[in-house]
Amino acid sequence: METISENACFGGTQGVYSHTSASCNCDMTFGLFLPEEAQDGPVPLLWFLSGLTCTHENAMIKAGAQSWAAEHGIALVFPDTSPRGEGVADDDAYDLGQGAGFYVNATQAPWSSHFKMWDYVTEELPNLLEQNFALDMKRQAITGHSMGGHGALTIAMSLPGRFRSVSAFAPISHPTASDWGRKQLSAYLGDDQSTWAPHDSTLLMREKGFDGPMLVDTGTKDQFIDLLQPEALAEAVNTRRQQAVLRLQPGYDHSYFFIATFMEEHIAFHADALYA
């Protein structure tokens, strides 16, 4: 693992690191904020999974998360959204290829040789973090935005017991029934739609749910709201009687201004679960 940068940040340290990934068969970069408390021992960890076109850097710089994480003594990890580099498959469209990993393990060419983001986020990067930093991996929570909200919800529901809480900002909630999902899932996983279902939070909510608190915010002026389908997730939550707070925020769009506005509430929500 290589240290790219480390900066003092709200009493703690905001670092950026790179490493050779066995899952993605390329070098991967991630950001990690460690609060001051990490100097004295392991601290809880909150994952932030970013959306389409983003790298590790977008949320790290724009979300305003570090100040609130420092207040609660919580570490933040910002993984990249896909493999990158020479020889990594890409597409001219912004919603497929580099920057658009969709947090799945691709099985179809040309994506299958690098696009193993599920394994990277759920296995490889957690192991790397545990081995190298003062983190309490028994106290984890997860959140994300858009494509990353999709990833946060599907990962949390698929790995019972791993995360104490889950939240999302404007998640892609029903990708198997949306143009933001059908295109990518068919490209990465093939035409057998049974392989898509484990990556659809609405379907997972109907089947499994999440054993813990859930918080989801979506803006009423989100320019992609028809693709996100928050109503599908809400219906599944109601049918399952899942513990959840689903909010439509009047006037907010899909931008990082929206994320930054509600980040304090999301981190406080996770802090309640992580320190319970």
* Residues classed as catalytic: 146, 222, 254
Neighbours of 108 (CB within 10 A): 13
In this structure, what DSSP letter does residue 27 have?
Answer: E
12 vs 9, 38, 43, 99, 142, CA distance in Å? 5, 8, 12, 28, 20
Contact between residue 176 and residue 91 where contact means Cβ atoms under 8 Å apart? no
Contact between residue 122 and residue 157 where contact means Cβ atoms under 8 Å apart? no
CA–CA distance, 258 with 254 (Å, rounded to integer): 7
Structure tokens at 78: 């910002």
**DSSP SS3 for 231:** helix
Query: How many residues are given for the chain?
Result: 276
Structure tokens at 147: 């494509």
CA–CA distance, 252 with 271 (Å, rounded to integer): 24
**DSSP SS3 for 246:** strand
